[in-house]
Structure 1
Amino acid sequence: MIPIFPDEVLHKNPQFQAVFQDLKTNKLNPDASSKLSNQSIKESQDVDKRLTVIREDLARTKIIRQRLIHTLNDLPADLREVIDLYLSSQNSGAVLRKDDEAFFLEGLPLICKSLNKILLEDATDLANMCTSDINPDPNPFTLPSTISARLDTLDLHRQSLHQIRCQSLQRSLQLAELNRNLISSTIKLVEQTKHGLTARAQKTQAKHLSLVSDSLDGKVKIMYFEALDRLYDQDTVNALAFYKEHLEDTKVRLKKQMRKAEGELEEYEGFGEGVKRDVVKYAQILEDIEQTKADIRRLGGDA
């Protein structure tokens, strides 16, 4: 088939367009075969007919030779021998003897009968293979017309396939054009978004906002230091320093008292069990004294 080129390519290359149009119109058929004159067409048809006849004869001869081998089992032994000689002579180019040739000709009716049986079986098998809804009867005698009809249908399908391919190529070209436009639009959009005016404006605005943020941060720090300066004036600083000295003195005094208490505790712990017994006895004496005082007060009250 003739290839299809986009119209844009043809418009950009006018010389190629002229050559392509000449080929498409004057030189080639839609299936890319060459256009011929009437005389050339007639000669080509004659050659095709002769080739068809020769091919049919060769195919017929080949089929008969092949099927002759399958008929040997149904024939007499002497006739099988002559058939072998005949096939060998056909392959080697030798010539049969006259008596063998005469015997072969005498056995032709028997050979044809056996061969006809095998060929009829083959034709029946082919007819069975060619059965369809249109031709459900597997009749071997209608096989030529069936094959001819199928060949005509095949030609129609080929022509339809050619048209479908052309349409598919057209759709492919349209799809390629759409993809090209899509890619071009995408690139433009990316350029506008990343490097265009909008992107530069956004970057400038971001820088401006960053500078404003830094300015506000500096202003807040200044306000913080000003507040500290107002809060901690000279009098407040002096008072805090005096209070700090007082706290340090108190801390030193408390540390001294703690060390003194720890020393006394160590001295008490050094006396051991004797001190503990004296303490218990002293506590018992104090308890007895309190009990005696209570008894005296009770007795005095009774008097």
Structure 2
Amino acid sequence: MMPIFPDEVLRKNPQFKAVLQDLTTNKLNPDASSKLSNQGIKESEDVDKRLTILREELVKAKIIRQRLVHTLNELPADLKEVVDLYISSQNSSTILRKDDEAFFLEGLPLICKSLNKILLEDATDLANMCDDEDTSPYTLPETITNRLTTLETNRLTLHQTRISTLHSTLTLAAHHLNLLTTTLKLIEQTKHGLSSRAQKTQAKHLALVSDSLEGKVRIMQYDALDRLYDPDTLGALEFYREHLEDTKVRLKKMARKAEGELAEYDGFGEQVRRDVEVYARILGEVERVKGEIGRLQSGDA
């Protein structure tokens, strides 16, 4: 399937839009296959096959030329020199002499043996890189073919998944656009619309009514205070205040008098305590004298 492009992209790129319409209408089917005739398709497939074969041959020749360098150490000196000349001629597009070419062909079995050994080592390394115990240098082509097939299948699956994801993304974007549009409409209706403005106006009106009622209540409060505190009431309160002041003064005088009496009582109590102590000492002395007299009388007897 052809990839989907948003209408905005096509509108901003009219030339690309024309090319895309020509491809999707005249040259490609809905599944991205070609609309060419059977003869054209067959010729195209033949060309692709020939190109594939040529590419494979070129790759093989390139690998052989590259690996020939590693065979020089295992060849005789004269054959090594000829191989070196052959490699140089391949890189510089020069032609070997006939005797060198004949000598090269004579030593070809030995060269192939050494080259086969090196290529087998490379194949073994590649097989080890496959991380598969069943893979060996001899089964490596089959393993690579299977993996390439799996890779191509995964690519097709990934392509289909991407297309499906793109469809889902476009659908999600459309839903998101609808959601944003609805949200903006709701915001306009609730915050900036007629109903919102009406509610704001009503709120301002109620605030003004509240301020007016507050002013009326204050006026009523002041009127009540004026009626409550008339001149007679204020005179009575002033007389009562003076009475309280006089009472306060009298109470202070009484408190000072009581404090003086308490001080006198404290002094009198101290004097009585001293008299009691003196009296106690006198009684003790009298008792002692009586005891002495009694002792003297008992001694005379």
TM-score, normalised via structure 2 length: 0.69
Report deviation, 1:202: 2.2
SS in 2 for 1:141: coil
**Higher normalized contact order (CA 8 Å, seq sep 6+, divided by chain length):** 1
Q: Structure 1 counterpart of 2:228, which letter?
A: L
Q: List gaps (5 residues or longer) in structure 1.
A: 11-15, 255-303
Q: What CA distance in whole angstroms lies between the structure 2 residues aligned with 1:66 and 1:140?
A: 19
* Consecutive unaligned residues in structure 2, runs of 5 or more: 11-15, 250-301
Q: Distance in 2 between matches of 1:18 and 1:159?
A: 27
How many pairs does the alignment contain? 249
- Describe the shift of the 1:31–1:111 C-alpha distance in structure 2 as closer, same or farther (beyond 3 A): farther
Local SS of the residue matching 2:138:
helix
Q: Which runs of structure 2 are paired with 1:154-303 in the superposition (5 Å)? A: 154-236=151-233
2: CA distance, partners of 1:118 / 1:30: 50
CA RMSD of aligned residues (A): 3.7
Q: 1:96 corresponds to which residue? A: 96
Partners of 1:17 and 1:86 in 2: how far apart? 55
**Matched residues in 1 for 2:89 and 2:99: separation?**
15
1:261 — aligned with what?
none
Q: Aligned letter for 1:186?
A: T
> Which residue of structure 2 aligns with residue 39 of structure 1?
39
Structure 2 Cα separation of the partners of residues 161 and 30 of structure 1: 18
Sequence identity percentage: 71
Normalising by structure 1, we get a TM-score of 0.69
Q: What residue identity is the alignment partner of 2:201? A: T
Partner of 1:275: none
- 1:55-89 CA deviation, whole Å, 9 max, x = no partner? 11111110011000011111112211111111111
CA distance in 2, matches of 1:104, 1:8: 67
Q: Which residue number in structure 2 is paired with residue 144 of structure 1?
A: 141
CA contact (8 A) 1:124 1:138 kept: no
Measure, in 2, the Cα distance between the counterparts of 1:20 and 1:111: 55
* Partner Cα separation in structure 1 for residue 182 and residue 61 of structure 2: 68
State the Cα distance separating 1:163 from its structure 2 match: 1.2
